Amino acid sequence: MISLELPEAVEQTKQMMHSLATDVFRPISRKYDDKEHVYPEELEVFRGLVGGGKQKSKAMPENVEKGKKDKKPNYSNLTTVITIEELCWGDLGLMMTIPGAGLGNAAIAAVGTPEQKEKYGEKWAAMAITEPEAGSDSASVQTTAVLDGDEWVINGEKIFVTCADRCDVVVVWANIDPSVGKAGIKSFVVEKDTPGFKLEYLEHKLGIRASDTGTFVLKDCRVPRENLLGTAEISKKKSFGGVMQTFDNTRPTVAAMALGVSRAALEFTKEKMEEKGLTLDYEKSPNNLSAMEKDFYKMDAEIDAMRLLIWQAAAMADAGIRNSLQASMCKAKAGKIGTEITQKCCELLGPMGFSQEYLAEKWMRDVKITDIFEGTGQIQHLIVARQLLKLSSKELR
């Protein structure tokens, strides 16, 4: 028999995160949407409590290729997506600017050496992948890293870097051998005060305004040889796949962001519908439902579908089962449907959905990013199609 009840420890975490979202995030949500680029000092309580380096690596075990499971599966990925859903119910932008919880931290935890995790475990690590000519296609990275003695010399430009101003270090993707294409792409830890590494400017954004996003320029930026994450060995079969492995863990978390925001919008819409005297009855015949009721029930069902896909991807990672397909499926679903739900909620709310007196219009602006970063929805559909059809990226573009 299949049980979808959460383990007691995970349920306790869920309740605690919801309390944080209610008591800490919601009250300051509008404040930092208005004050873009101002660091939320209220989040200092989280500093030192989270970070990627000191925790167990979420990298897939060596036996994944053989389809075997870990003997002792844990709930770390499941706990993470549930935590993110609850915090994003409070505020997505604030969740993204929690000190020490950057995407770079996930990369260090996934493929960093014990020494790297020890050195950078307490630091706030951003992730720099996107470039002016390399957006959703991460394999098109043009930034280069050339080994010169005991240092890597990095040159390139990185755009749309989350937590660019607030982070301590940045995990930069660069190609160490462009002649072999994507197989040469590696990731490097770059300290913020490194000569040749400059934060060029910060973006002004539609949504997630509490989170800062910036552009870095690397010009003859030198980092120690040991700052390369993983191995410098180039393997056309494994190298890029190892770098991309980070996405198998982070895409379900982005899907959980969309889930949290869209759930907030739907719950608020339900509250206002009931205040207007509309009683929601799940036992009603579909033929006796108003258009508004039908819209609500459809969105409610989509919320459940999003959550189950996310939990499946997270649980597979916890069990040591490769989840690339499921990670992309839940990301594609949640990004698209989350955007549709928040838009529909604003429509159903009427003037309340477009007034800054309420947060509904903010949720609509915030959630759109979940369909864009960590690979757009179109890219996720390509990944899913390639895996189902067993075609390479060259065979199906």
SS (H, E, C) the chain: CCCCCCCHHHHHHHHHHHHHHHHHHHHHHHHHHHCCCCCCHHHHHHCCCCCCCCCCCCCCCHHHHHCCCCCCCCCHHHHHHHHHHHHHHHCHHHHHCCCCCCHHHHHHHHHCCHHHHHHHCCCCEEEECCECCECCCHHHCCCEEEEECCEEEEEEEEEEEECCCCCCEEEEEEECCHHHHHHHEEEEEEECCCCCEEEEEECCCCCCCCCCEEEEEEEEEEEEHHHEECCCCCCCCCHHHHHHHHHHHHHHHHHHHHHHHHHHHHHHHHHHHHHCCCCCCCCCCHHHCCHHHHHHHHHHHHHHHHHHHHHHHHHHHHCCCCCHHHHHHHHHHHHHHHHHHHHHHHHHHHHHHCCCCCCHHHHHHHHHHHHCCCCCHHHHHHHHHHHHHCCCCCCCC
Q: Phi and psi (nearest 5°) for 18?
A: -65, -40
Q: Is residue 374 annotated as a catalytic residue, yes or no? A: yes
Residue count (the chain): 397
On whether the CB atoms of residues 139 and 178 are closer than 8 A, the answer is: no
* CA gap 324, 260 in Å, rounded: 22
Distance CA 162, CA 209 (A): 11
The residue annotated as part of the active site, out of 86, 157, 302, 374, is: 374
Active-site annotation, residues: 374
